[in-house]
Structure 1
């Protein structure tokens, strides 16, 4: 039986927690699919995941942050990603599926919460589904089996420290 995990909150570590679970699953020869929404830049995890044959990574974002309102291209890419996840999650082909930053995609209006809930409700019974990102909608929290909120207590960003290679990206 697969469960639904949600990693949310304003603290650091949501994607890191999801990828830790991916690493554990790969150690047991499980098959993993990772979809990254909004992340088109060069992140260290991209290089690490390429070292494993049982993982598929697809990205549905442009190589820049969205400042202000997303544009048509952002919406198009996110909806492509959602449709791809719908196929993957229902196929039963993967043991673990990660929808990285899907909560933020909903928050930005790239697709709606009902579309995300449809993916969740149509998942294969043995597929473990992990959804990350700030702003998890209450409707998703209600249907999830596990919800972890990362809370920022203190962060060096507030002192002007920029993201560092190998640590934040």
Structure 2
């Protein structure tokens, strides 16, 4: 039986934890699908994931951060991604499905929490779903079987250290 995981909070490591689970699944020859919302920039994980034949990665974001209110293109890409996830989740083709930054997409109003809940409710009973992103709404937390909150205790960003290639991106 598959479960729903939510990795949320203001600390670093949500996507990293989800990718660690994907790596574990790949070690047992499972099929993994990853949808990245709001991420269109170059990240190290993109290069690494291309080395694995059992991973499908699709990205539904532009190559820039969304600051403030998202624009029409951000909404269009997110809805396209959510529709694609609906197909993938209901197919039963994948053992593990990661919806990276889906919580933040809800928070920014790119799609509703109810839309997200409707999509994940269509999953095959054996499919594991992992949803990442800050600000996971209560409805999503209530629907999840496992919730982990990453809490920032200390971060070198506060000292002005910029994101580093291979470490943060």
Normalising by structure 1, we get a TM-score of 0.99
User: Structure 1, residues 139-164: CA drift from partner, whole Å, max 9, x if none?
Assistant: 00001000000000000111111100
Following superposition, the deviation at residue 122 of structure 1 comes to: 1.2
CA distance in 1, matches of 2:53, 2:26: 9
Q: How many residues align?
A: 169
Find out whether 1:138 has 2:146 as its counterpart: no
Following superposition, the deviation at residue 68 of structure 1 comes to: 1.2
CA distance in 1, matches of 2:30, 2:46: 18
1:110 aligns with 110
2:6 aligns with 6
The CA RMSD measured in Å over matched residues stands at 0.4
CA distance in 1, matches of 2:100, 2:18: 8
Q: Secondary structure at the match of 1:10?
A: coil
CA distance in 1, matches of 2:127, 2:81: 18
CA distance in 2, matches of 1:111, 1:71: 13
Q: Secondary structure at the match of 1:141?
A: helix
Please list every run of 5 or more consecutive structure 2 residues that lacks an aligned counterpart in the other structure. none
Following superposition, the deviation at residue 121 of structure 1 comes to: 1.2
Following superposition, the deviation at residue 119 of structure 1 comes to: 1.1
User: Structure 1, residues 107-136: CA drift from partner, whole Å, max 9, x if none?
Assistant: 000000000000121111111000000000
1:48 aligns with 48
Please list every run of 5 or more consecutive structure 1 residues that lacks an aligned counterpart in the other structure. none
CA distance in 1, matches of 2:68, 2:16: 26
User: Structure 1, residues 59-97: CA drift from partner, whole Å, max 9, x if none?
Assistant: 000000011110000000000000001111111000000
Normalising by structure 2, we get a TM-score of 0.99
